[in-house]
Amino acid sequence: MIHQLFVYILRCQIVSMGLSQSRQREGGLCMKNKVIGVLMAVVMAAGLIGCSPAVNQGGDEGTKAAEAVTEQAEAVTGEKPVIKFGFTGGEIEEQAFRAGLDGAEEKFNCTIEWIRYPDTTTMWENLPAQMVAGTAPDIVAVTNENYMEFIENNMFLDLSPYITKEDYDFDRVTEVHRCWLIDDKIYGIPTDGAPAAFIVNMDMWNAAGLGELPQTMDEVRTAAEALTTDSVKGLCININEFHLTQYVKAFGGGWGMGETINTPENAQGLQYLIDLYQEGVAITPSEAGLGWDGEVFAKGLCAMSTGGVWYTATLEELAPDMNYEIIRVPKGTTWGCTSHSDTNVVLSSTEYPEIAAKICAYMGRDEAQNAVAELYGNPPAFQDLQEAYFNENTRIAALIPATEYATSFDYPAETNKFTDALRNEMEKALYVEGSGMTAEDILQNVENAMK
């Protein structure tokens, strides 16, 4: 595992240094670590991590194994095992995680240590080196956006030897959450997730004399033109892979794990955005001097944006009096969008795979999923829990049809390389005056970058 992580870290750093200079970007801070520092950490830590023993047990046997490991650790150190939980997010997210872990210390006879990362970019970029150095969390809260890169580099533990259907029943999850089942292996325990959404400022919409909310991208274009004024743009375009992918999906495209990057459908989705921007009816967060689309929307600088159910918490905090609607992403040539799968994973560097796997499954119990839904509005991963959720959360009931067709993100396994290339090329097309770049140019360049 040391050799694999060494190669992976080195490759990530070389790719990072070869791309555009570090800067604030939509969707997160693109940070670069110094290669020398990372290699020193690798060399110093190389002898510290061994392979965790594979205990092929589950159910009651798995629980007994976890208890046995705990007893052995206490006998050696005189202390309970410490299970470190890594996460990003604010106060609401932390409350949800604490609800999920409520009672875990007593049930599994361990101590939970909390590690908060400032943002997801920082977390993803630091985990490989932390795993080698022996300082990484045991359990990490992640999503299905760039998960394949870490699975293919053996950074996520296969949980199937340690948990059973009684611990967590994948037969109950909606289809998108099954992305964590690969070749009969379980790489994560989903807790919640929701389809992407489209958010509309209703005061602006009504003031413009518009009628029914948009169902198609043609209607979005017409509305964006009508909603644009001297101080407001009709649409916010966040140059971030999540948002770009929604338009790609709406025109029948997708990334196909890297197999379908340069396709007519993908080009149609990106060209739609380029055209709107060049027509002067769209704005990006960086143009507004803000970090992401939710801030642009909350400040009334745009009338529409792609987003998600997290807008409810964001707008409650930043614009509590705003009149808005959340609808499903309008169709281009088809109904299509992605869905997040918020999931807890165990890192392969953990000293306590049995305990960590059991705790992961514990965080996916019904009570924990319902707590997440109540605290920050995401539908539970279990389909049988979603009916009650949508009955209570009528504001986002319009997303119910999307749960039937929303897919995972299907980014290439070299996700960071792909998303950096996609963002860079889209920025050139929008920001570089006279570039004349088309969506076909963008996709060809991204495809070439992945070779």
Q: CA angle, 102 as apex, 349 and 85 as ends, to 5°?
A: 20
Q: Where are the domains of the chain?
A: 52-193+342-393, 197-337+414-449
Helix (H) or strand (E) holding 243: helix 241-250
Query: Average pLDDT for residues 419-441, to the nearest whole number?
Result: 96
Q: Which of 360, 359, 388 is nearest to 374 (CA)?
A: 388
Dist. CA 380–CA 194, nearest whole Å:
8
Indicate the SS3 state at residue 169. Answer: coil
**Lowest-pLDDT range, 60-64, 94-98, 307-311?**
60-64
Average pLDDT, the chain: 86
| CB contact at 8 A, 333 and 120 | no
Residue pLDDT, tens place only, 147-195: 898 899 899 999 999 999 999 999 999 999 999 999 999 999 999 999 9
According to the model, what pLDDT value does residue 36 have? 32
- Three-state DSSP class for 402? helix
Least Cα distance to 282 among 221, 223, 237, 220 occurs for: 237
Over 70: is that where the pLDDT of 19 sits? no
Q: What is the pLDDT of residues 342-399, one digit of tens each?
A: 999 999 999 999 999 999 999 999 999 999 888 877 899 999 999 899 998 898 999 9
What topology does CATH give the domain 52-193+342-393? D-Maltodextrin-Binding Protein; domain 2 (3.40.190)
Distance CA 128, CA 114 (A): 18
User: What's the confidence (pLDDT) of residue 77?
Assistant: 54
pTM above 0.95, yes or no: no
pLDDT tens for each residue of 36-58: 333 334 433 443 333 333 323 23
Identical fold, 52-193+342-393 and 197-337+414-449: yes
pLDDT in tens, 216-272: 999 999 999 999 999 999 999 999 999 999 999 999 999 999 999 999 999 999 999
**Lowest-confidence pick of 194-198, 272-276, 308-312, 445-449:** 308-312
CATH 3.30.70.1290 fits 197-337+414-449, yes or no: no
